[in-house]
Amino acid sequence: MADQQAPKPTHPEVIQVVRQAGAYSSYAIAVKDFDAGDLIARLETPPMTITDTKRYSSVQISENQNIELNTDFLFINHSCEPSVEFHVKADADKPVIEVRAAIRKDDNGKLKGIKKGELFTFFYPSTEWDMAQPFDCKCGTKGCLGRISGAKDMTSAMLNNYFLNEHIENLRSVRPDAASKLGVRSVPSSSTNVHNIG
In whole angstroms, how close is the CB of 19 to Zn ion at the nearest point? 22
> According to the binding rule CB under 5 A, does residue 137 interact with Zn ion?
yes
Query: Please, which residue, 145 or 174, has the CB nearer to Zn ion?
Result: 145
Query: Please, which residue, 38 or 118, has the CB nearer to Zn ion?
Result: 118
Q: How many Å apart are CA 56 and CA 100, to the nearest integer?
A: 22
Tell me the CB-side half-sphere exposure of residue 50, using CA atoms within 13 A. Answer: 12
Query: Please, which residue, 144 or 184, has the CB nearer to Zn ion?
Result: 144
Alpha helix (H) residue ranges in 75-196:
156-159, 166-173, 177-182
x/- track of binding to Zn ion for residues 9-48 (CB under 5 A) = ----------------------------------------
Query: Please, which residue, 131 or 139, has the CB nearer to Zn ion?
Result: 139
In whole angstroms, how close is the CB of 177 to Zn ion at the nearest point? 28
Quick one: which of 41, 48, 76, 80 contacts Zn ion (CB under 5 A)? Answer: 80
Beta bridge partners of 1: none
> According to the binding rule CB under 5 A, does residue 159 interact with Zn ion?
no
> According to the binding rule CB under 5 A, does residue 158 interact with Zn ion?
no
Quick one: which of 31, 50, 144, 174 contacts Zn ion (CB under 5 A)? Answer: 144
Q: How many Å apart are CA 67 and CA 54, to the nearest integer?
A: 8
Listed in sequence order, the residues at least 6 apart from 130 whose beta carbon sits closer than 8 Å to its beta carbon are 149, 150, 152, 185, 186
Q: How many Å apart are CA 56 and CA 28, to the nearest integer?
A: 16
Tell me the CB-side half-sphere exposure of residue 175, using CA atoms within 13 A. Answer: 18
For binding to Zn ion (CB under 5 A), which residues are involved?
80, 137, 139, 144
